[in-house]
Amino acid sequence: MLSKEQLRSLRRSIDEVDRQIVRLLKRRIGLARRIGEVKRLLEMPVRDLDRERAVLEGVGKMAEAVGLRKEGARAIFREIIAACRGVQEATRVAFLGPKGTFTEMAARSFFPPAGTEFIPCPTIRSVFRRVQTGDTPYGVVPVENTLEGSVTATLDQFLASDLMVYGEVELHVEQCLILAPGTSLEDVKVILSHPQALAQSRNYLEERLASAELREVSSTAEAVRLLSKVPHAAAIGTELAARLYGMRVVARGIQDSPRSYTRFFVLSEHDHPRTGRDKTSIIFSVEHVPGALYRALEVFAERGINLTKIESRPVKRRRWEYVFFLDFEGHRHDEVCHEALEALRRRAILVKVLGSYPTWGSA
C-alpha cells in the first residue's frame, strides 16, 4: 500500500519532469525565434503549413511508438507550435507619432526593438482606435509630465474607451539642439520645435541663440525632419529623431529643468498579471455633496493603501461636476485592493478600473 511519503516522492519526480519540459520548451522557443530572424532576412512568410503538418505527423508517430495517444500528443504540440510561431511574428505597437518622438522612445524602452514593429499615429485618439479595432495589440501614449501636468487628451479617451493599462514607462525628457550636416551654430537664424520644447529650453536659447527666430511646428520630430528643407535652421528634438533623419546633435540636455519626466501608458485590451510590485489606475465619480470625496478616499486610508496620484477632470456633459483619476500601489487582484475597490463601489456613483500594471523601474 502506497504511503503519503511515496505520494510526495512521486509528485517530486513529476515536478522534476516538468522542470525539464519547461527548459526544453525554452530551448525550442529560442530556436524558433532564431528561425524567425532568418525568415525575415530571406523575406519568407512566418507560417509554413507544410512544415507544421510534417511536425504534427512526426509527433503522432513518435507518440504511438512509445504507447501514447497520437491525437493527445498532437493537441499539445499544436499549442507549442502556436507559441513558437508567436515569437516569430513581429509585435505591432502603435504610438503617438511621428517617428522620432519621445513617445516612440518610450515604446522602444518597453518593447524590445528586435521583433517589434512600431507604428506612428497622428493623434492620441488614433492610437486608441488602432488598439480597439485589433489592428495592433498594444499602443503607447503620454499621460503626464512632471512640469506640464497631465495630458488631458489621453485622460479623456479613457472615459470613452474600454482599453486597459498594461504597463507604464517613465522617460527623462532630454531636449537636444540639432543641426543639419554642414550647418554651424553661427549660421542659425531659425529654431524649429514644438511649443513645449521651445518653452522648456528658454534659458539656453536666450543665452546662446537670442537673435534667432522661434518657429513652432507640430512636434519635435517634425522640427528635425524640416532641417533638410529650412535653411539656416536648428531644431530642438530627440537624439532618436536626429539619427532617423541623418542630422547631428550639437548639445544635449538644453532644457531649463533637469527634473522633467514624462509618464506614458501602454494600452491593451487587458491589464498585466500580478508581479508583487504593481500599481493600479482607476476613474471614479461621487455625488456632488459635502464629504463625498472624503468618504471615497477613506476606503484606501483604512486599509493602508498608498495613493500615488489623484486628479479631477470636468464631466463635459454637466457643468461643475467632475470625475477623479486615481493611482494607488498594489494590484486590483490583491485581497486588500480588491476589498477597497468593492468598498469604493458602494460609496461612488462610478468606478472604472483602468488596469493594474508593474511599477516602472521595479523589475
Tens digits of per-residue pLDDT, 301-351? Answer: 999 999 999 999 887 666 667 899 999 999 999 999 999 999 999 999 999
On the question of pLDDT at 197 being above 80, the answer is yes
Look up cell 524590445; give the residue: 112
pLDDT for 19 equals: 94
Q: Average pLDDT, whole number, for the chain?
A: 89
Q: Given its phi and psi angles, is residue 232 left (phi above 0), alpha (psi -120 to 50 degrees) or beta? A: left
Say how far apart CA 80 and CA 240 lie, in whole Å. 37
Strands (E), the chain: 91-96, 116-121, 138-145, 149-150, 164-172, 176-179, 190-193, 213-216, 233-237, 248-252, 261-268, 278-285, 307-314, 322-329, 350-358
Taking residues 63-81, what's their average pLDDT? 91
Q: Cell numbers for 160, please give them.
A: 470613452
Look up cell 489606475; give the residue: 281
- Residue in 103, 136, 183, 262 annotated catalytic: 262
pLDDT for 362 equals: 64
- Residue in 110, 264, 265, 328 annotated catalytic: 264
Taking residues 180-207, what's their average pLDDT? 90
Say how far apart CA 345 and CA 110 lie, in whole Å. 33
Tens digit of each residue's pLDDT (9 = 90 or more) over 227-243: 989 999 999 999 989 99
Contact of 152 with 158, CB cutoff 8 Å: no
Tens digit of each residue's pLDDT (9 = 90 or more) over 347-361: 999 999 999 999 998
Q: Cell numbers for 17, please give them.
A: 519532469
pLDDT for 363 equals: 55
DSSP state letter for 226? G
Who's near 276: CB < 8 A, 6+ residues apart?
A: none
Active site residue 183: no
What percent of the chain is modeled with pLDDT above 90?
Answer: 55
pLDDT for 76 equals: 92
What percent of the chain is modeled with pLDDT above 70?
Answer: 97
pLDDT for 1 equals: 57
Say how far apart CA 150 and CA 133 lie, in whole Å. 26
Q: What is the distance of C-alpha 186 from the center of its chain?
A: 40
Count other C-beta atoms under 10 Å from residue 313's C-beta: 17
Contact of 249 with 178, CB cutoff 8 Å: yes
Taking residues 200-212, what's their average pLDDT? 90
Taking residues 2-6, what's their average pLDDT? 79
Active site residue 264: yes
Contact of 265 with 208, CB cutoff 8 Å: no
Q: Which domains, from first to last, does the chain contain?
A: 4-88 (1.20.59.10), 92-172+262-358 (3.30.70.260), 176-252 (3.40.190.10)
